[in-house]
Amino acid sequence: MSQFAGTFGVVSATVHGLIVSSILITGALSSFLAGHLADAVGRPRGMSIGAVIFGCGAALQAGSVHLAMLFIGRLITGAGEGLFLSTTVVYICEIVPAKGRGVIASAPQFFITMALVVGYFFCYGTVNIQSSLAWRLPFALQSGCAFLWAALGLFLLPQSPRWLKAKGRLEEVEQAWLRLGVAPSDNDDDATGGPSETEAGLNLEPLVLAQTTATHQSVKEDVHMLLRVFEKDVRKPTALGVFMMSMTQLSGIDGVLYVSVFTTGRWVSWTNGLAVRASSIPTSWFGQ
C-alpha cells in the first residue's frame, strides 16, 4: 500500500515478516497466562482485561509515526489477544448445556471468518483514501471495537457458574444458571454438585478444580497440571485435540490469507475472504 510506504518507507521482506508475525509471538506467550488470569478474576473480567490491552495496542498502531511504534503496538495487541481468545472458548463451553455446546462453541470461529470478510471489504474502501488514514482507520476501528467489546463483556456477561463453584461460591451457582436461562433439567454436570463428566464419559473434576486453584499454589503443581493432559485417561482427547489443531494450521490457511494479498490483488483477496467464510459453514456443521 503506497500510503503505508509513504509513512514508513518500503520495508524489506524480512522486516515485513517480522512485523506480521510479531503479534503471534506475544499472543502465544500471554495465552499461557490466560487461564490463570481467568481463574483469578473470572471469565468475563479476564476477557475484558485482554480486550483492553488489545485495544491499547491497536490504538498505538493506528497512531504510529515510526516503524518501531507499529511493532510495539503489534506486540501489545498480541499480548491482549492471547489473554482473551482462549478464555472466550472456555467461557462458552462452561455456560452452554452439553446438548448445544458443539454448535455454539464454534461462535468465535464463525466471527473470526466473518470479521475477515468484513475487514476485506472495509480495507477495499479505505485503500482509496489518499492520506495515511487509509491504513490507520482499520486499526482505529479495531481498537474501538476492542474497547466496546471489553465494556459489554464486563457489564453484560454473567459469571460462569462452573467458575463460581470452583471458587467455592456455591450459593451463587443456582442464580448464575438462572441468569443464563438454563433449566435444572438441562444443567447436566458439575456445577450443581454432580460428577463432572463430558459426554465421552471423562471425569474432568480433578482437572477442573485443580486448574482453578493452581493460581495460589506452587510452580511444581502447575507443571504437574500441565503434564496431566498426557495421562492415560485423557490421552485420547489430547491426541485428538493436537491432531485437529495441527492439521488446521498445516493446511496453510493463514499462509493463503497472508500471501493472497500480495499475489492476487485486492479483488481476488476479498473474494478469497468470502470463500473462506463459505468453507467454514460445512466445516462447523460436520464438526458438530
Partner 1 sequence: MALPSMLSKVLHPPRYVVASILAGLGGALFGCVKLLA
Question: Which residues in this chain contact partner 1 in the complex, by CB under 8 A?
Answer: 20, 23, 44, 47, 51, 54, 77-78, 81, 84-85, 88, 91-92, 95-97, 100, 104-105, 107-116, 118-120, 123, 138-139, 141-142, 145-146, 149, 152-153, 156-158, 179-182, 254, 257-258, 273
- 197 DSSP β-pair partners: 203
Q: Would you state the torsion angle of the CA atoms of residues 137, 51, 207, 191, taken in this order, to the nearest 10 degrees?
A: -120
CB of 77 to partner 1, least distance (A): 7
CB of 220 to partner 1, least distance (A): 33
CA-CA-CA-CA torsion sign (42, 44, 48, 54): positive
Q: What is the C-alpha to C-alpha distance for residues 180 and 23, in angstroms, rounded to an integer?
A: 34
CB of 181 to partner 1, least distance (A): 4
Nearer to partner 1, 123 or 208 (CB): 123
Nearer to partner 1, 98 or 209 (CB): 98
Q: What is the C-alpha to C-alpha distance for residues 138 and 142, in angstroms, rounded to an integer?
A: 6
Nearer to partner 1, 110 or 215 (CB): 110
CB of 133 to partner 1, least distance (A): 14
Nearer to partner 1, 11 or 107 (CB): 107
Nearer to partner 1, 91 or 208 (CB): 91
Q: Sort 47 into a burial class: Cβ within 10 Å, 0-12 / 13-18 / 19+.
A: buried
CB of 112 to partner 1, least distance (A): 4
Instruction: Decide: 191 and 168 in contact? Cβ < 8 Å.
Output: no
Q: What is the C-alpha to C-alpha distance for residues 185 and 67, in angstroms, rounded to an integer?
A: 56
